Amino acid sequence: MTERFDPNDVRIFSGQSHPELAQGIANHLGIPLSKTNFSRFSNDNMFIQLCDSVRGRTVYLVQSLTPPVSDHLLELFMMLDIASSAAAKEVHAIIPYFSYARSDKKNAPRISITARLIADLLHKSGATQVMTMTLHSPQVHGFFSIPTDPLTARGLIASHFQKYQFDPRDTIVIAPDYGRAASASRLAKQLGLPSASAEKTRISDTEVRIGELVVRQLAGFRRVLIYDDEIATGSSVLELCKRLKEGGIQEIFIICTHGLFIGNALEQISKISEVHEIVTTDTVPIPLEKRQQNLTILSVAPVFGEAILLNYTRQSIGNLFAYWEDQFS
């Protein structure tokens, strides 16, 4: 891989949100992770300095939009501006978790479609390209006026579950709502399983209602794989698990790309006796003290590393693209 990569032409830096993932991406590419200095002035203003020259080089800045989101976002804007102002040839924003993707529509008076605003600000700050993973909805991709690659972890997840050799006669993949039905269907197809979708109504940020239709779709099944884009408070998963147990499901696997697990969400989910395994990726760092025995974390560093390499060598990244089967299958 390194013979196609000119180490002197490329720089990769990390924000403070997820340096472990940035290091993993750098290791996959076989290049060093450049140092970045972070500090604050007495008035709480941030000070950031990229410690390697970027002049005339291709620069990759890795930053997930995890809590504290506003601080991490401002860090990213500043790093983009620094690289652009220092005459970098290209400046790529690598955003494994783009949290504002959930703000993708105007569903109340006098609110911001913040996903579009952030997309504009990334461009204004100096990004020439954006790479992210599993956006909350496909239309967010259209908010960006610069080349943007929404990748998928579905291949990693499918590879992990191949070992189980599930029987399609007793195992089904379920999306927690209609918005994730297409993604659940794609994963189910890779695993040779049927799929279905629950009917979810969101009452508040921490409360949802799951319709009874999903229970009627479970006849004959004993095992369910719940597949979602992200789990934050866990309210959707907890309510869906309750419905699945009512339908006689004996074994539950919970899968998500972005495992935020706010508060005690991970602990609550793990306590459900029917939950055999919780599978997520490392787009969001999970502290060691919060990890449960039945939690599996898959690293997306190889996915981003491969996408960066293919992009750098001007090759197609279609196989890593989140929605490519929709257009080409």
Structure tokens at 138: 């496909």
pLDDT at 136: 79
Query: Cα–Cα distances in Å, from 37 out to 40, 159, 193, 297?
Result: 10, 38, 48, 29
- Name the band, by pLDDT with cuts 50, 70 and 90, for residue 328: very low
CA dist 217 and 63 (Å) reads: 40
Residues 126 and 81 sit within 8 Å (Cβ to Cβ) = yes
Domain 154-298 falls under CATH 3.40.50.620: no
- Overall residue count recorded for the chain in this entry: 329
Task: Work out the number of other CB atoms within 10 angstroms of the CB of residue 143.
Answer: 19
CA dist 99 and 210 (Å) reads: 24
Q: How many percent of the chain have pLDDT more than 90?
A: 71
CB-based burial of residue 320 (10 Å sphere; 0-12 exposed, 13-18 middle, 19+ buried)?
Answer: buried
Which DSSP letter does residue 174 get? Answer: E
CA dist 301 and 44 (Å) reads: 32
Catalytic residue among 105, 200, 271, 290: 200
Sheet holding 10-14, edge to edge: 10-14, 58-62, 90-95, 129-133, 148-151
- Name the band, by pLDDT with cuts 50, 70 and 90, for residue 164: very high
pLDDT at 2: 44
| CA within 13 Å, CB half, 115 | 21
Is 200 a known active-site residue?
yes
Structure tokens at 27: 């290791």
Domain boundaries, the chain: 2-152+301-328, 154-298
Pairing of strands 46-50, 58-62: unpaired
- Name the band, by pLDDT with cuts 50, 70 and 90, for residue 192: very high
Pairing of strands 207-210, 200-204: antiparallel
Would you say residue 212 has pLDDT above 70?
Answer: no
CA 91 from chain center: how many Å? 21
CA dist 253 and 135 (Å) reads: 22
| CATH architecture entry for 2-152+301-328 | 3-Layer(aba) Sandwich (3.40)
CA dist 274 and 226 (Å) reads: 12
Does 2-152+301-328 match 154-298 in CATH topology? yes
Q: Each residue of 65-96: pLDDT tens digit?
A: 999 999 999 999 999 999 999 999 999 999 99
CA dist 252 and 226 (Å) reads: 7
Mean pLDDT is lowest, of 23-37, 207-221, 298-312, for: 207-221
